[in-house]
């Protein structure tokens, strides 16, 4: 392992590059895929639209209000996210998860309808809970595990599929974000996702009833993903922060055999394209991944693993021992120590986290999201302790 920490003019891109090359940076690189707007607002001292469930609800509100409100929302969000990543001395930045759908109807203050329940197509009713800050499905076309509706929809979509959308304007928002972030931070993009929606029972039923149909849907994801990887590389992306949730605290929601048959060969195609374009593919999922780890982190060739779930029992030292060339992202318990710990306990958790890897091939951050309930002093202690730690 080379020591490149001396005689370097370090910036975010160089630190993230060091993490994927397993060379020693001046400090452990920092990245959080999402920071709750509530926490960011308290830290900065003004309203910040940077991420979390409330951000997605706010965007739906704005888009329903009209084009002007939607445009103003997006412009403020882009500026706030870029500013926050830079001001907090992060080394990599990405746009938060968004909800860019235009609602069909506003049912009440916090509830919106998407689509048309009278049609044959998908529709959903979403509701925002101010108390729990949860933006969730209240009713949908797949309610009760309506697998017949899903299969009908998949058959129609596959029949009408005419190939990937290669319009470069697909990346316009990311291009704007890149210009705001600058060239000294790494740009992570969430394209080339590959997943079977685990939160919908109908999808898991479809795996058993019509596996070939599900496979065709995954093929569509791969085709679009390959096109989007090329577009992302053209705008200067460095890291593909992607993959797709498929694990719980009990393990994967489908069998390792299903993973090897349906996901692995398609994931290999996406990783091969990243290698061709000079991109790094990070597969992110919560939960326990050990039952599929050799396929997911070994055979697939992915470059990194994100959303490493501390509360599920995933530990960096065990992953490093088994996969010595896998870059590890996150693992600080976002639903535990970061919310409920004292400042000293958060600092201790940061030191323990870095000590498990020595800060090499490691990008430090939360196990998923800086949750809205996170005390600002705990969040700032996390960043400060990471900066102080001597590699």
Q: Is pLDDT at 209 greater than 80 in this prediction?
A: yes
| Residues 248-289: tens digit of each pLDDT | 999 999 999 999 999 999 999 999 999 999 999 999 999 999
Q: How far apart are CA 136 and CA 177, in angstroms?
A: 27
What confidence tier does 121 reach under pLDDT thresholds 50, 70, 90? confident
What confidence tier does 4 reach under pLDDT thresholds 50, 70, 90? low
Q: How far apart are CA 28 and CA 8, in angstroms?
A: 15
The torsion defined by the Cα of 39, 44, 50 and 55, in degrees rounded to 10, comes to 60
At 21, is the secondary structure helix, strand, or coil?
helix
Task: Specify the pLDDT at position 2.
Answer: 52
Q: How far apart are CA 103 and CA 59, in angstroms?
A: 11
Q: What is the DSSP string of 255-291?
A: -HHHIIIIIHHHHHHHHHHHHHHT-EEEEE--S--GG
pTM: 0.95
Give 188's strand partners: 239
- If you average pLDDT over residues 46-72, what whole number do you get? 98
**What element of type H or E holds 224?**
helix 211-234
Q: How far apart are CA 38 and CA 57, in angstroms?
A: 13
- If you average pLDDT over residues 16-40, what whole number do you get? 98
Q: How far apart are CA 58 and CA 128, in angstroms?
A: 10
CATH class of the 12-97+165-388 domain in this structure: alpha beta
Please answer whether residues 98 and 49 qualify as being in contact, where contact means their C-beta atoms are separated by less than 8 angstroms: no
Nearest CA to 196 out of 127, 328, 285 is that of 285
């Amino acid at each position: 392992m080379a020591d490149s920490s001396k005689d370097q003019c370090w910036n975010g891109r160089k630190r993230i590059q060091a993490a994927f090359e397993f060379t020693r940076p001046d400090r452990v690189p920092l990245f959080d895929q999402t920071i709750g707007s509530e926490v960011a607002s308290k830290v900065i001292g003004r309203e910040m639209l940077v991420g979390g469930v409330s951000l997605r609800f706010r965007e739906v509100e704005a888009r329903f209000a009209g084009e002007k409100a939607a445009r103003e929302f997006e412009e403020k969000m882009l500026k706030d996210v870029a500013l926050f990543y830079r001001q907090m001395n992060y080394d990599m930045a990405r746009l938060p998860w968004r909800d860019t759908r235009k609602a069909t109807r506003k049912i009440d203050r916090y509830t919106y309808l998407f689509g048309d329940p009278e049609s044959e197509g998908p529709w959903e009713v979403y509701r925002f809970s101010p108390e729990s800050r949860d933006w969730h499905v209240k009713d949908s076309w797949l309610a009760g595990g309506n697998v017949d509706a899903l299969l009908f929809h998949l058959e129609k979509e596959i029949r009408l599929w005419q190939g990937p959308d290669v319009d470069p304007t697909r990346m316009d928002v990311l291009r704007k974000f890149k210009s705001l972030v600058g060239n000294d931070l790494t740009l992570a993009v969430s394209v080339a996702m590959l997943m079977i929606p685990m939160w919908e029972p109908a999808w898991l039923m479809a795996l058993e009833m019509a596996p070939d149909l599900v496979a065709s849907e995954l093929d569509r994801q791969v085709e679009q993903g390959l096109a989007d990887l090329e577009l992302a590389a053209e705008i200067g992306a460095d890291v593909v922060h992607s993959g797709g949730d498929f694990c719980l605290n009990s393990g994967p929601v489908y069998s390792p055999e299903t993973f090897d048959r349906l996901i692995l060969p398609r994931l290999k195609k996406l990783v091969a394209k990243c290698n061709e374009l000079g991109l790094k593919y990070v597969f992110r999922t919560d939960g326990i991944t050990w039952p599929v780890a050799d396929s997911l982190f070994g055979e697939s060739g992915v470059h990194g693993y994100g959303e490493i779930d501390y509360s599920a029992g995933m530990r960096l030292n065990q992953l490093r021992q088994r996969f010595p060339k896998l870059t590890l992202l996150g693992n600080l318990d976002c639903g535990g120590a970061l919310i409920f710990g004292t400042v000293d306990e958060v600092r201790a958790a940061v030191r323990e986290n870095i000590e498990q890897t020595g800060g090499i091939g490691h990008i430090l951050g939360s196990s998923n999201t800086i949750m809205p309930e996170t005390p600002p002093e705990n969040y700032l202690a996390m960043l400060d302790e990471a900066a102080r730690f001597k590699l």
